[in-house]
Structure 1
Amino acid sequence: MSALFRTASWLALAALLVASPALAASGPPPGFVLTDDADLAFTSPDGATRLEQYMKDSGDFDVKWQVWARRGDQMTELKPEQGYGAGFRFTGDSQWLVRMQKTGSGEQDLFLYHVENGAFVNATKTSLSDLAWDYFHSRPDTKRMKLDYHISANLMKGTEDAYRWLGVDWPNNRYLLISLSGEMDKHPKNVAVKGLADWKCRYDLKTGKFDVPAMFAKGNAKALNWEIRR
């Protein structure tokens, strides 16, 4: 076998491993233990993918969680590694997956994954929640609102059946509904809590763009003025 042929073969193998993350991944590293919490186990609607969550407790509050997607005998890590277990929702065609990730007390991020080459991979360069907040702060009616804590992005239920429970007739596997919430440090003395409560927007999986359906306009106006008086 010529040196040129051997080099070409190695390059082809390297390209295959890069293009197929499921082939390159073998499972969680030593020290990570599969949780037996049934609430943290998820299976795709088509039954092909099972999500397994593994925890490593190194003591001194150093806890790490990894999520692995098992498809047959292949496993792929759903990054990033986090400090808490997570919830998940699939679209009805099992091609899209959203991770609802607790990041602290009353705070949550969202991460979006898509099936490519037979494995789930990150679908966006930054988190889905960051994209949603960027959209929120880009709008004339919301861009000046500053939130300080309990900042949370939530995925509304209904991804598997295109939110039929809302009475809409949207295409299947096309949209994600996200609600945003958070609280402010500064508010009047007669107000105990003030901030944003359940402001809704829609993410288009086909175009990668956000919008606010007219059906949410009234509720969003109230969400911007949410407060609890003393």
Structure 2
Amino acid sequence: MTASFRTAPWLALALTLLATPALAASGPPPGFVLTDDADFAFTSPDGATKLEQYMKDGGDWDVKWQVWARRGDQMTELKPEQGYGAGFRFTSDSQWLVRMQKTGSGEQDLFLYHVENGAFVNATKKSLSDLAWDYFHSRPDTRSMKLDYHISANLMKGTEDGYRWLGVDWPNNRYLLISLSGEMDKHPKNVAVKGLADWKCRYDLQTGKFDVPKMFAKSNAQALNWEIKR
């Protein structure tokens, strides 16, 4: 057997390793400590995935949080790394996961994950909240509204059972209801702080598209005229 044939198995192994996505490390890097707060621990309905949140305090307000999904003996990081801990909700089939991520005082983003090859990965290139805001600003009735602070996207309760509490018969594991809020800086002095309060839309997990069910038409119109008396 020639030398070229003797090295072929090694070359094949090297090429396989290069072509295979790298598995996540066995856990967070040094300096990150697992929080013992039960409010930051979540388990999928099927019990297969446990979410662990780790925090690193670098001092001078330099705090970083990482979320890791433990599935058997495999751990994968749910990106991105953030400055606060997060809340999570699974769909009832344990295939979809929404991260409710505080980003500041009165502000929150949403991130969507989906199970692929036995592990949760980011399901969208943009955050789910950015996609919801893009939809909001694409509509003729809402595109002119400019918000400045307390900008928040919230996942409405009911993800696990198809929002039965609203009296709907939507299929399970199909839709997510998102509520958008925010406030404006530019408003008449000594009058009111104007903004957006609890404007609702629906995200279809199968098609990746948004819509507004007719049942929210009245409350959404009221949400556009929200004001806080000062």
In structure 2, do the counterparts of structure 1 residues 63 and 165 end up closer, same or farther at CA, with 3 Å as the change threshold? same
Q: CA RMSD in A?
A: 2.4
Confirm or deny: 8 A CA contact 2:24 2:77 kept in the other structure.
Answer: no
**Shift in Å at residue 18 of structure 1?**
8.2
Distance 2:198 2:146 in 1: 15
Structure 2 unaligned blocks of 5 or more: none
Distance 1:5 1:123 in 2: 43
Distance 1:19 1:89 in 2: 33
**Shift in Å at residue 26 of structure 1?**
1.6
**Shift in Å at residue 25 of structure 1?**
3.0
After TM superposition, the score normalised by the length of structure 2 is: 0.93
SS at match of 2:10: helix
SS at match of 2:23: helix
SS at match of 1:154: strand
Deviation digits for residues 65-110 of structure 1 (CA, Å, limit 9, x no counterpart)? 0000000111000000000000000000000000000001110000
Deviation digits for residues 182-202 of structure 1 (CA, Å, limit 9, x no counterpart)? 000011224332100000000
In structure 2, do the counterparts of structure 1 residues 31 and 226 end up closer, same or farther at CA, with 3 Å as the change threshold? same
Indicate the structure (1 or 2) with the bigger Cα radius of gyration. Answer: 2
SS at match of 2:169: coil
Structure 1 unaligned blocks of 5 or more: none
Distance 2:19 2:162 in 1: 30
Confirm or deny: 8 A CA contact 1:21 1:119 kept in the other structure.
Answer: no
Deviation digits for residues 165-193 of structure 1 (CA, Å, limit 9, x no counterpart)? 11100011000000000000011224332
Distance 1:148 1:137 in 2: 14
Confirm or deny: 8 A CA contact 1:22 1:74 kept in the other structure.
Answer: no
In structure 2, do the counterparts of structure 1 residues 110 and 20 end up closer, same or farther at CA, with 3 Å as the change threshold? farther
2:16 counterpart residue number? 16
Distance 1:218 1:170 in 2: 20
After TM superposition, the score normalised by the length of structure 1 is: 0.93
Confirm or deny: 8 A CA contact 1:56 1:64 kept in the other structure.
Answer: yes
In structure 2, do the counterparts of structure 1 residues 92 and 189 end up closer, same or farther at CA, with 3 Å as the change threshold? same
**Shift in Å at residue 146 of structure 1?**
0.2
Q: Give the percent of matched residue pairs that are identical in Structure 1 and Structure 2.
A: 91
Confirm or deny: 8 A CA contact 2:200 2:216 kept in the other structure.
Answer: yes
Distance 1:103 1:35 in 2: 19
Deviation digits for residues 100-136 of structure 1 (CA, Å, limit 9, x no counterpart)? 0000111000000000000000000010000000000
